[in-house]
Structure 1
C-alpha cells in the first residue's frame, strides 16, 4: 500500500506529497522497505511494483487540488530497466495527469553512473 508524506515549502506550505511504498504482512505486520525492496529487486519485480506505485500515486494525485505534486521514488533497477520512459509516458496518458505534477526521485548511485543510457533516460523524462 502507499502512504503519503507531505512535501513542505518553508515556512509551512504543502506543495505536494511523496508516495511511500509499504508492505503490511498479515501475520508479521509492517515490513520495512529496507527489507522488502532489495528482495523485490533481486527477484526482478521492481518494474512491475514500480509501475503499480507510479500509477496508484498518479491516480491519487488526481483527487487533490491541481497545484499539488506527487513524488515517486524509483529504484536503480527500475531506472536501468530500459522501459522506464515508456512506462511513465503510458501512465501519464492512461491516468490523464499533467506530467508537471509528477516528480520522479532517483538515488545518487544512478546519477553517479553517467552512462549514455542514463543520460538519455533523464533527458527523455525531462521532455515528458
Structure 2
C-alpha cells in the first residue's frame, strides 16, 4: 500500500470515509439531517481541510468545531467517527502521512469531546 501522497489520495480517503459514515447507523442520521442529499460541498471542504492538514496547502476556511457544536453528538459519535476514519485509512494507505492523518483525527476527536463537555458544563460543573 502507498502512503497518502497528494490530493488524489485525499479524495479517495474522504470519499471512502464518508461512504462509511453515510451507511453507519449512529453517524449516518446525524450527517443526513444536516447535509440532506447534497454531499459535494461537504466533501469539497473536507478535501481542502485534509490537504491543508497533511500538506500545508492553503485553501481551507472554516471553523469545524463551531459547525459541530450545535449537533446532537457525544463521545459515542466521536469514537465511531474515529474508528471509521482509522479503518478507512488502514484499508487504503500505509506510511508516515497515513499515521499522521490518524493521529490528527484522534487529536481532533479528543479536542471536540473536551470542548463539548465543557460547553455543557462538564462533570461537577453547572452551567446556567
Q: TM-score range by the shorter chain?
A: 0.3 to 0.5
TM-score by length of 2: 0.32
TM-score by length of 1: 0.32
Higher relative contact order at CA 8 Å, sep ≥6: structure 1 or structure 2? 2
Q: Which has the higher strand share?
A: 1
